[in-house]
Amino acid sequence: MFQLIYKNRTFQNLEDFHQFDENESEFLKDALSFCKEWLEGKDVFFQKTSGSTGAPKIISIQRKSMEASTKGTGSFFKINPQDVLFCCLNPAYIAGKMMLVRAMEWQVPVILQEPSSNPLLGYSFPNPPTFIALVPMQMEMILANPETSELVKNIPHIILGGAPVNFRLKKSIIQNGISAFQTFGMTETVSHYALAPISENELLYTCLPRVSIGTDERDTLWVKSAMSGPEPIQTNDLVEIENGNSFRWLGRADFVINSGGVKLHPELLEIKAEEIIQNLYPKSRYFFAGVPDQTLGEKLVLFIEKEQDGIDSSHSLIQELSQKLDKYEKPKEIVFRAKFVETPSGKINRKATAQ
């Protein structure tokens, strides 16, 4: 049975979602307002996109699309009436909204917790939830705390989205025997449409039921699904499709580097190089990019966010990277920047930083 539980309060019937005042937190007001609209049968919702398929914009999302997404996820994880959800994502965004829709459509309780770096800290319910959605940073903080790291081990269904899972977090998830999945999707597809188990192997995403995928002449992914409407959505993601409904992500088409006729995918290089770079420059952000070059057209450059300290460690870094990267994947140059240029959403603006 659906219930929304927030601290010592329970909301269940439609009239319960009318009973809040203006002094409530924005987080709770957003959650209650959305649940009220859903329970009243509202058919269309408006949501700002993340910019995966272009500039961020406001789009309309059909109720039936959200229902289809919920049905696909429920089928994938074999959800049953005994499950309990934990929502610690902002309901102003699609990921938070979908946690509430899942609870209402699956007819299971959802525990509401305001977003924080460690939302499980101080968890006061007798049993752990069975389904939780987190961003990687939250998972890192949960595993760094002895109390919450034990709790999260007992949660059978964990999905991680919003950013890639880095090497350190992947290693920690595996070492702790945690069952977690990296999500793949966007606002236009109503949250995720594919999931990849986090294991020692490279990520292989499997599509939810009723999702069709393919590639165009650039090898970029298109997706057609019950949750995204009748027309295929063209993405800018380069992929390798396997077995029709599974794929490996190679990176963004607009980031591909053509160096002397060799095409390099910087996001894949960043995954391969992460352990080495983080060992030398812990917690420093970094990325690979192509810089104009008279001979190669573009040369591969590694950018690292760090103040130069007078010690030239770039030589040893290139030596170590040579053991991990192929001949053409080794950066021609390493550039240190005290601060990377960021997008309005806080992500690295690669082109502006490289320029």
Task: Render pLDDT for 71-100 as a digit per residue (tens, 0 to 9).
Answer: 999 999 999 999 999 999 999 889 999 999
What's the average model confidence in pLDDT over 255-262? 92
What's the average model confidence in pLDDT over 335-341? 91
What pLDDT shows up at residue 54? Answer: 52
Task: In whole angstroms, give the CA distance from residue 96 to residue 27.
Answer: 10
Taking the alpha carbons at both ends of the chain, their separation in whole angstroms is: 55
Task: In whole angstroms, give the CA distance from residue 145 to residue 74.
Answer: 30
What pLDDT shows up at residue 58? Answer: 86
Confidence of residue 56 (pLDDT cuts 50, 70, 90): low
Helices (H) and strands (E) in the chain, counts: 9, 20
Min mean pLDDT across 42-51, 204-213, 214-223 is at 42-51
Task: Render pLDDT for 184-205 as a digit per residue (tens, 0 to 9).
Answer: 998 888 889 999 999 999 999 9
Between 127 and 313, where is the model more confident?
Answer: 127
What's the average model confidence in pLDDT over 126-146? 95
What's the average model confidence in pLDDT over 8-17? 90
Please say whether the beta carbons of 184 and 156 come within 8 A.
no
Statement: residue 155 has pLDDT above 70 = yes
Angle in degrees, CA 132, 138, 141, rounded to 5: 125
Min mean pLDDT across 98-107, 196-205, 218-227, 310-319 is at 310-319
Statement: residue 342 has pLDDT above 80 = yes
Min mean pLDDT across 140-144, 222-226, 304-308 is at 304-308
Between 112 and 46, where is the model more confident?
Answer: 112
What's the average model confidence in pLDDT over 257-269? 92
Catalogue all structural domains in the chain, each as residue range(s) with its CATH number.
3-205 (3.40.50.12780), 256-354 (3.30.300.30)
Between 139 and 327, where is the model more confident?
Answer: 139
What pLDDT shows up at residue 347? Answer: 80
Backbone angles phi, psi at 341, to 5 degrees: -75, 140
